[in-house]
Amino acid sequence: MAYDRYSAICNPLVYVMVMSKQFCIFLACGSCLLGITNSLLNTLPLLTLHFCGPRLIHHYSCEMPELLPLSCTDLFLNKIILFTTMIIYGIGSFLPIMFSYIRIISAILKISSASGRSKAFSTCSSHVIVVTLFLLTGVGRYLSPATGSVLQQVISMQYSIVTPLLNPIIYSLKNVEVKVAIKKVWENKRILPGTY
């Protein structure tokens, strides 16, 4: 999405040529391949671990930081792989996205009309917020030691549940029909029949 926004704002005349169907398929397949590679790199070394202690995870989901302390074997390799993949995939995703948005912001600031700047900023701001929330909380959670604290559970819930739920809400609020429907509901102040 960051590259799509970058192409649309910084190179609008060649946007259709750059964001061709083949290139979009390439980007989607590349994302899937990177996700599968990350999963395999972290999951395959788990097959060599032995779990002989308590089998209770103090968390609502079975994530790597909560699973590793339950093993009674040496975790050095697993922790190195987890740390390395989080740095590579986390920073490797965050930096190019932020670089493209810095370029986008500099291009937006060169737009002469205030309405054009406002429209361009509104298009990009929601994506930056969602991506930043997702990446910072996800990488922060995986790099912190597993303690089973409530804060870690809230952070895990934020990047695994809240951020994916925010995406459709944020993007649907940009739709004119959705805005009109929300305005009608708000003006009527009736959400359920018989309530005010």
Residues 93-124 pLDDT 10s: 888 888 888 888 888 888 788 887 877 777 77
Residues 6+ apart with CB under 8 A from 174: 122, 123, 126
Model confidence over 45-87: pLDDT tens digits? 988 888 887 777 777 777 788 888 888 888 899 989 988 998 8
9: in domain:
no
According to the model, what pLDDT value does residue 155 have? Answer: 81
Q: What is the pTM of this model?
A: 0.70
- Residues 163-181 have a mean pLDDT of 76
Give the chain's domain count. 1
Residue 135 lies in domain = 61-188
Please say whether the beta carbons of 186 and 196 come within 8 A: no
Model confidence over 121-154: pLDDT tens digits? 777 777 778 888 888 888 777 777 777 677 878 8
According to the model, what pLDDT value does residue 109 have? Answer: 84
65: in domain:
yes
Q: In whole numbers, what is the pLDDT of the chain averaged over residues?
A: 81
Tell me, what DSSP letter sits at residue 32?
Answer: H
181: in domain:
yes
83: in domain:
yes
31: in domain:
no
> How far, in whole angstroms, is CA 5 from its chain's centroid?
16
The owner of tokens 């190019």 is: 96
67: in domain:
yes
52: in domain:
no
23: in domain:
no
Collapsed DSSP state (helix, strand, coil) of residue 107:
helix
Distance CA 45, CA 110 (A): 50
